[in-house]
Structure 1
């Protein structure tokens, strides 16, 4: 082989070696982020009381910031899309937490709530997990919403984390597992209790009592004292009892994403 060709080959090998050695290595911050879907209610009527309902701010805000601050990408959807209704009682002074205070000072997230994605435009394959905040609203719309039901069934079949807090486990009412049985059958769960519903004087207003529904569907229901933080994880299913449990649910969800 001529000297000229040997020089060219040598230079080419040196170039390739240098390229492989200097190729940047991605750090943890540059790795692909996790994507979580939040699903909010679009229902704002509290039965026939003439009062308003919707989603509970704390149950959205605490998990939202918990995950957002850890670098998780979050998309917020609702059955109707657009403005998701807020339960007025969750704006009361007694219901405020550090997370809700942050929410009320965060114009960006308020824009997100005002422009939620329409649920039927969502593809489960685009997300690593789904989370449902509570409030009484979901008992009326999401519990019956076929798109929501199918979405949860898809996430579950893909073995992805599915998380719910307070009244949100009510959306599991008609959700089936891969065997065609109630998804919650034989699963350890929690949610807003009959005692807590009685305490807020809405036992006769809600379309069904969450605790009773879960037990009737074969769930293994457990609870802590009223208004205290309590959450349960059974496989990819994560549930929280009440607004005070929203942070715990978010932590469990984040660990399940890893």
Structure 2
């Protein structure tokens, strides 16, 4: 059976200070995309407002060491996918088997309170699909409630970019909240790797999360393994 995966990316290009650029951390998308493509899955990208997805310039320093991101940047057809993303209102959750929230700091602003993304995520989860996120992408799960009013993450194991990693990245004073603490406030069972910036993936049933950019490929592989069993 042909599986369908919906990737979610940010529309935010700057921190609160316009001098500090942000956007999608490209490899978090490309690594997952490659895994799902190898499994023959159909894929689409959605963003909170639709349209253009900016790229975090810090992430673009990595492609010389990252074949996946480098190949995406060199492919006009792939780059075009980031200029014309769908809006949540354009998405029928029934068409998808999994959702994959990508990161980059921009998502901290436009993911958590987007009711369209929440509705898509809730519907996909409640029909038995896989919900997944990598790095800051887990901010997209902070305020998603199920039909019974409970938070999707409540009582479930998750990971995502840690507060320690924020401090080491030098942006702790510029971001709008501590995502790790916010997850814990929603009674999620937050876990992280022993050492910062190391790959780490947590799977709790159909909820799969990765801690940081280096976790994207492993997160996608876990999602694919689940989809192949559903």
Coarse TM-score class (shorter-chain normalised): over 0.9
Give the Cα separation in 2 of the matches to 1:197 and 1:93.
18
Give the Cα separation in 2 of the matches to 1:66 and 1:54.
22
Cα RMSD, aligned residues only: 1.4
Give me the TM-score of the superposition, normalised by structure 2: 0.94
1:69-88 paired onto structure 2 within 5 Å? 69-88=38-57
Partner SS, residue 100 of structure 1: helix
Q: How far is 1:80 from its partner?
A: 1.9
1:167-178 paired onto structure 2 within 5 Å? 167-178=136-147
242-251 or 50-59: bigger deviation: 50-59
Q: How far is 1:50 from its partner?
A: 2.0
For the 8 Å contact 1:61–1:100, the answer to whether it is kept is yes
Give the Cα separation in 1 of the matches to 2:183 and 2:202.
14
118-127 or 41-50: bigger deviation: 41-50
Give the Cα separation in 2 of the matches to 1:118 and 1:85.
15
User: Which one of 204, 216, 221 corresponds to residue 251 of structure 1?
Assistant: 221
Give the Cα separation in 1 of the matches to 2:96 and 2:130.
10
User: Which one of 44, 51, 56 corresponds to residue 25 of structure 2?
Assistant: 56
Q: Identify unmatched segments of 5+ residues in structure 2.
A: none
Give the Cα separation in 2 of the matches to 1:75 and 1:94.
22
Give me the TM-score of the superposition, normalised by structure 1: 0.84
For the 8 Å contact 2:97–2:227, the answer to whether it is kept is yes
Report the equivalent of 2:115.
146
- Size of the aligned set, in residue pairs, is 227
Report the equivalent of 1:115.
84
For the 8 Å contact 2:200–2:211, the answer to whether it is kept is yes
Give the Cα separation in 1 of the matches to 2:146 and 2:87.
25
- Higher relative contact order structure (alpha carbons within 8 Å, sequence separation ≥ 6): 2
Match status 1:103 vs 2:72: yes
User: Which one of 210, 227, 234 corresponds to residue 179 of structure 2?
Assistant: 210
Give the Cα separation in 1 of the matches to 2:103 and 2:143.
17
